């Protein structure tokens, strides 16, 4: 089992559409979350740009994870520009497939197919999305 600390979903414009804390070692206070969202999106944007510039032309590998001494940051960007970011314990393996699953089987089914939800404009507040996501994360 992989310990998941938190999950972010960012729109292509950098708006945090969803955030879920699964027991981070030091969760931020609610007043600091907006600042954390901006920092996280800026970090991801810059790191993805750096990786694309230093990657040899013959290779098309991209940025999908980075680690610190305390956690691993896993990243998946859908073709639509939606960014899924999962913070896990250091020992977590490749999380690209679970992030793809969250996008294609949970986000698309619960949000994209919901005619009342406006993509890129509002946070994800669908209870079915949060419940399905929580059940899936518990199985990792």
Return the closest-CA partner of residue 76 out of 37, 54, 107, 53: 107
Q: What is the pLDDT of residue 3?
A: 93
Q: What is the pLDDT of residue 31?
A: 81
d(CA 13, CA 90) in angstroms, rounded, equals: 29
- CATH code at 4-139: 3.30.450.70
Q: What is the pLDDT of residue 62?
A: 76
Q: How many CB atoms lie within 10 A of CB 98?
A: 22
DSSP string spanning 28-77? Answer: PPGGGHHHHHHHHHHHHHHHHHHHHHHS-TT------EEE-SS-EEEEEE
d(CA 120, CA 13) in angstroms, rounded, equals: 8
pLDDT in tens, the chain (140 residues): 899 999 999 998 999 999 999 987 777 787 888 999 999 999 999 988 888 888 776 666 678 899 999 999 999 999 988 999 999 999 898 999 999 999 999 999 999 888 877 776 678 988 899 999 999 999 99
Place of tokens 């939606």: 82
Q: What is the pLDDT of residue 75?
A: 94
Q: What is the pLDDT of residue 72?
A: 94
């Amino acid at each position: 089992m992989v310990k998941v600390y938190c999950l972010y979903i960012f729109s292509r414009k950098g708006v945090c559409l969803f955030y879920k804390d699964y027991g981070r070692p030091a969760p931020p206070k609610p007043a600091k979350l907006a600042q954390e969202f901006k920092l996280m999106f800026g970090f991801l944007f810059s790191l993805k740009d750096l990786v694309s510039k230093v990657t040899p032309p013959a290779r098309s590998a991209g940025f999908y994870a980075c680690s610190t001494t305390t956690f691993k940051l896993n990243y998946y960007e859908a073709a639509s520009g939606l960014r899924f970011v999962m913070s896990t314990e250091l020992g977590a393996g490749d999380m690209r497939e679970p992030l793809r699953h969250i996008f294609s089987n949970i986000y698309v089914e619960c949000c994209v197919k919901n005619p009342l939800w406006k993509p890129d404009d509002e946070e994800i507040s669908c209870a079915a999305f949060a419940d399905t996501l929580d059940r899936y994360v518990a199985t990792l």
